[in-house]
Amino acid sequence: MRRKRDEKTRFAKRKQGIQLNGLHLIGDLYECACERDLLVFAANPLKQVRSLCERSGLTVVGERAYEFEGGGYTLATLLAESHVTLHTWPELDRVAMDVYVCNHTQNNIEKARGLARELVELFLSSRPVIKEIERGEIGEPHVTLLA
C-alpha cells in the first residue's frame, strides 16, 4: 500500500514541475600528488571510496573495479542514489571523476558536492576542474542526440 501512495506523491510532484532528478558532477583531477599506488591499483581506492560515500550519507549498493595492464584502473561504486566512477591515468597524475546523485526521496546535492571535495583531497589534486550539471525537471522534454 505504501508503494502506491509514494508513486501518487511522486506523480503529483512531477505534474507540479518540481525538480526531482539531481546533480551530476564531472571532474578532471589534474596534478594528483597522492601516493602512486592510489593511482595504479584499485583495491585501496575501492575501500576508500566506499568509506567516503558512507561518511557522506550515501548508500553503497555495489562496487566493481578493473585494473589495466601497466597501471591505472576504472572504478564504479553503485549507490542507491546513483553512482560514482573514477578512471585513473598514473602516467599523467590524473583522475577522471563522475559523481551523480538523484534527489528521488531527499535532496542529495550537498552530499555529492562534499563527496567530490573529499575525492579531490584523497588524490591531492592541485588543479581540480569540476563541472556541475543539474539534471532537469521531471516533465522536461526528453531529447536524444545521435551522431
Fold type of domain 21-134: S-adenosylmethionine decarboxylase (3.60.90)
For residues 35 and 115, the answer to whether their CB atoms sit within 8 Å is no
Domain residue extents for the chain: 21-134
Residue 80: count of CB within 10 angstroms of its CB:
14
pLDDT tens per residue, range 42-67: 999 999 999 999 999 999 999 999 99
**Which is nearest to 122 in space by CA: 22, 57, 50, 60?**
50
Q: Cell match 571523476: residue?
A: 97
Task: Please say if the pLDDT value at position 16 is more than 90.
Answer: no
* pLDDT recorded at residue 39: 98
* pLDDT recorded at residue 144: 52
Residue 8's pLDDT band, with cuts at 50, 70 and 90, is very low
Question: Cα angle at 20 between 19 and 21, to 5 degrees?
Answer: 105
**Which is nearest to 53 in space by CA: 97, 83, 98?**
83
pLDDT tens per residue, range 56-96: 999 999 999 999 999 999 999 999 999 999 999 999 999 99
Catalytic machinery residues: 82, 87, 102
Q: What are phi and psi of 5, to 5 degrees?
A: -65, -40
